[in-house]
Amino acid sequence: MKSGFVQDQWSMNGGRYTTVSGYEWLMGTQIQVPWVPVVWNRLNVPKHSFIAWVYVEQRLLTKDRLCKFGMAVPTECDMCMVHPETHAHLFFECSYSRACLDRVNEWLGVRIPVCEPIQWCLQLRYKSLMKKQVVFAAVCGLVYLIWWARNKCRLEKVLTHPAILTQELQKHVQIRYQNQHWRGKDQRQGSWITQIGFS
């Protein structure tokens, strides 16, 4: 802590130590990442944000990664039983996850791409913050539910129907939407909200 003061870190506050300056010094230089508004969107279910964060970092333990760690596991995707399970396959080259993505696109009236959906979110130019946050929450929720369905399929040998998965996603996002008290604050999006079944 003494070196923090000696290196002039706190002298800008007139040589006075504050909790904020001490914390910032201890944390060091922070790397800025572009996906923060999507992954840590306030409308996201927290567990969806966590899995979406691991997903953007490509750290989910897909079978190709397990093999790299020396584990002897069957490599094929449990959901389509055709292709090797990799990060790119699971999100969203797999016929199963693509079927889920198609349903989400139909539900929201958008065209989320199979490649780089988080990047796509960042390029959205909706004037409505509410609409943007609903779409972000749906994309992160979809990533979470695909990973959840994959684990359920792997462990219990049960594959959730894409229609059921999408209904589950709609339910999660709707609960978050209603808890945010958006109703009446963005009248321009009223018809869109009706269209996606939230009103």
Interface residues with Zn ion (CB under 5 A)? 77, 79-80, 94
Q: How far is the CB of 90 from Zn ion (least distance, A)?
A: 7
Q: How far is the CB of 63 from Zn ion (least distance, A)?
A: 11
* CB closer to Zn ion out of 91 and 177: 91
* CB closer to Zn ion out of 90 and 118: 90
* CB closer to Zn ion out of 104 and 134: 104
| Residue 76 β-bridge partners | 84
- Quick one: tokens of 51? 């899995």
* CB closer to Zn ion out of 80 and 165: 80
* CB closer to Zn ion out of 79 and 112: 79
21 contacts: CB under 8 Å, gap ≥ 6? 9, 10, 13
Q: How far, in Å, are 44, 51, 117, 148, 165 from residue 47 at the CA level? A: 8, 6, 18, 11, 16
Residues in the chain: 199
Q: How far is the CB of 194 from Zn ion (least distance, A)?
A: 35
The SS3 of residue 76 is: strand
**What does the buried/exposed string (b/e) look like for 135-154 if buried means 16 or more CB atoms within 10 Å of the residue's CB?**
bbbbbbbbbbbbbbbbeebb
- Quick one: tokens of 102? 């198609």
Q: How far is the CB of 84 from Zn ion (least distance, A)?
A: 9
Q: How far is the CB of 95 from Zn ion (least distance, A)?
A: 6
